[in-house]
Each structure stands twice: as structure tokens, then as C-alpha cells.
Structure 1
């Protein structure tokens, strides 16, 4: 990979007032004593508010570890992680969507969303209207009375996304949420997430190992090296984020060029 493959923008040189996430000299290790394993680092990264950042790389490069650090589920061994200037708080700082939906199977779709709204501090009187807004946003209007086991895997993941949006916090984190879905459902949900985040303006950090998914979703892509993960490529994606047909976008020459560039970077970084 040549030095021209790494794009450094002014936003990386200082936090500024519009930064949603900032990682300074972050290193994270697992284990104790002589049995330690460095998963990521050092990583310096700034995510401006409203950006859709995609972390992409081969399996085991530390993508999910970085996401857990931003979510506050873990604390870095060295360095600092800040979300809107403060340490992240699990369950408070960001809405998180995992690889599996992690819904409560004994509750209905309505029950799962209402529980998230309650934890988010939404008043009981406002919950029905807010629930309808969320389900409509993810394309699930009319299914609120169904049990989790009565809906498809794709619909369950839509519920998980709606639940993550319930808190109305400005940061959304997604850890390979479509990995277990069939190709058609995955593409449909990619389009949904792209539209939802474009309309809400939420800062989003999305983890994937797919160059195609990264280019389609992201306004910026970070490619990580093999473990310990560091930044191999920082690439802005100049594709339109709204008002464009998804199929036309995927079939465009610019999309194909960017996908090839990211794919090459992932393979090179993993070597």
C-alpha cells in the first residue's frame, strides 16, 4: 500500500467542537502478566458528529474491541476514549446493535421497544407515539403485537435497531449486525440503516469485514491492520448519502472503484 492510500484530513489533527468520538493513543490488551495479548493499538481516531464511520478488516483485527471501548463496555489498557468529551457509559452513551438481536423472547415487539423507551426515560404517555415512530422508521409498522419468535431474523434485527434508536442519544454503534442474514435481507437492511442514519443525522460507527458493505454504508472508512489493529487506511467516501437509488449506486463505476480499493487495502493490511 502506498502512502497515498492513507488519507489524513484536518479533523484528525484536533478534536474541535463537533467531535462525537475521540480515541487518543488507545491500546487494549487482554490477559495478565506474561500471558497478555494486544488486540488493538496504538490508535488515534476522531469521529466528527454526524459521520457514518465504518471499521473494516479481517477477522481478529480488533474491530469489535474498538467498538466495545467506544460503548464503554471495556476500558483501554492505555490511552483515552471520549464520547462528546466524557468517558463512555455503558447503556447510556450510545445505542448498540450486536451481531444477534438479543431481544427478550417472552416479550412482544411492543414490549421490547417499550422496555427500551422506559430505560431511556421516555414518559409513559409518550411511549405509544414514540414506539410507532420507531417501528415505522425501520419498516415494521403493524407487527408490534407479535412475539419475537413469530417474526423473521431480519425483522428481529430491525427491532434491535429500533430499540437502539429509542434512547435518542446521538451515537449509534453496530457490530456486524447483518452477518448472519441471507444476502437479500442483508442488502435491504443496509439500505434501511443508510436511510435512517441519513435522516436522523446520528453519528454511527459500524463494524464489518465486507468491503462492499463498508463502501455502501460509510461516509468514511477505516481499514485496520491484523492484530494488534492499527489504522492502515483512512478513506472518505464521496458517494451521495440520500436521494439515490441503492441499485444504481451499487452498479456505479465509482462504487466499484472504491470497493476495489478498500478490498485491496483489507487484504494488504491482513498480510
Structure 2
């Protein structure tokens, strides 16, 4: 990310000492009694404003649970979650992108983005200006009038990202949004998302199984252990966020070294239960 990203339009800058996400001694249990399953924790994690945090780990390690807790879709069993210094509320303060786009198929591409702006309280004249801007940002300026069923799966995910950006929320949460896509489309959307995050300066939290995706997208990578998910590795990536083409970035020796380090951590953490670094 740029060292001093431009503030997101319409938002007051957060105080310097308030993290975009602050998780403290967080634990989450599903069920109760003998059937109770501890899915996550304890975890403590602080995400500064402007970071791109990637959470990676094997299936069942609690990655998506952690994201839902940050979004406010679930309440923690114990511990606290704060976003921008406040308890998270679903639909407020964070745009969320899921593995499936969850768009309205009876609306056009532009209509889906317009609806998100409408829910965000943006006046109609302003929406007419911002819909093309948001679609341009994700490379969809030429399909605004198409129905959702008339565009590809990759384009649908671009619409979902544009919709998540529509509310000018300072936080973007993404739960394996590219997992169901082919490799080429996935790489293109990774490049789009990396560019958009750099341009907007939003804080992003991204869940994935892919080590390469984690290294390419993240300014920081956290690896979780097998259930209950705890932090096995917390690593600043340190790669350039601007100035290099994707192929040039992936060709760096540092990129290969990070893939090796994180890949080893993921494989090791998949066998850990309740252990931490």
C-alpha cells in the first residue's frame, strides 16, 4: 500500500491510535455441552488502517469464522472484536465479498451497484455519477446495461467488489471470493483487487487457502493452526505495492522466499491443535 494513501471519499480519518480491526483474546465455540466445538482462539490481532491482511490456513481452521466475527455476523463466545474502535454491526462500516457473488439477477450490472449506493444513502444524482466510476474501477464500464446472467463468473465477482466499494466503508472483508474461478480469471481478479486496494487505501481482510494468493495480495499474512484456529505465523510481507507488473513481482527472489516460508507454515500449522508460535 502507499505509505500515505488518500482517505476514502466521505469518511473522516480515524484517530492515529485506533486500529481498523482490533481482536483481543477472541474465542468462538459452536454448540454446547458434549457437542461443543471450539472453532477459534484464543486470538489477539491488531490490523492498522490501510493494511491488506490475508488469513490463510487449511479447511476448518476458523478463517471464515474469524471474518464473520469481524463483520459482526456472529458474536464471539469470549473476547472482543472492534472495527474502527467500535463493536462491529452487520452492514455498517465494512463491505463484504463472499465466495459466491450474491447479486440480484433481475437487475443489470449497473443496477446492482446503484442499489448498493442507494442503501448507503447516496442521493440519486450522485449515484448516477458514481456507478460508472465504480464499474470503471473494476473494469466493467462496458457491461453496465447487461443482466447478471449475461456476464461471466469473473465479471460477476467484479460486480460484487464494485458493490462492496460503493458504500465508502473503510473496511473491505473478502471470504475466498476467487475460489470457484478458473486460474486465469483468478489471477486477473487478484491484479484488479491489488490495484483497487492501493488506489483507495482501504483496509482489507482477505481469507484464502492459496499461499500464492496470500503472498501476491497481502501486505501481511497470518497463518492459522488446525481447529481451534490460533495464530501460527504473523508475517509482514514487505514486497512493493506499486511500480511492478504482476509477472515482475512474482519473479522476485523475495516472492519465492515468502511462498516457501508461508507454505511451510501452512503445512505445519495444519497438524497443530491448540499450539501457538
Q: Same fold (TM over 0.5)?
A: yes
Deviation string, structure 1 residues 197-245 (Cα, Å, up to 9, x no partner): 0110000000001110000000000000000000000000010011211
Distance 1:57 1:28 in 2: 17
Distance 2:16 2:79 in 1: 19
Counterpart for residue 143 of structure 2 = 143
Counterpart for residue 248 of structure 1 = 248
Count, aligned residues:
257
Counterpart for residue 123 of structure 2 = 123
- 8 A contact 2:18–2:85 mirrored in 1: no
Distance 1:129 1:227 in 2: 46
C-alpha RMSD of matched pairs (Å): 1.0
Q: Return 5+ residue gaps in structure 1 as ranges.
A: 1-14
Counterpart for residue 231 of structure 1 = 231
Change (3 A) 1:16 1:39: farther
Counterpart for residue 4 of structure 1 = none
Counterpart for residue 222 of structure 1 = 222
Deviation string, structure 1 residues 1-53 (Cα, Å, up to 9, x no partner): xxxxxxxxxxxxxx961410000100001012221100000000000000000
* Higher mean displacement: 241-250 or 159-168: 241-250
Q: Return 5+ residue gaps in structure 2 as ranges.
A: 1-14, 272-277
- 8 A contact 2:28–2:38 mirrored in 1: yes
State the TM-score, normalized to the length of structure 1. 0.93
Distance 1:31 1:106 in 2: 38
Distance 1:18 1:221 in 2: 21
Counterpart for residue 201 of structure 2 = 201
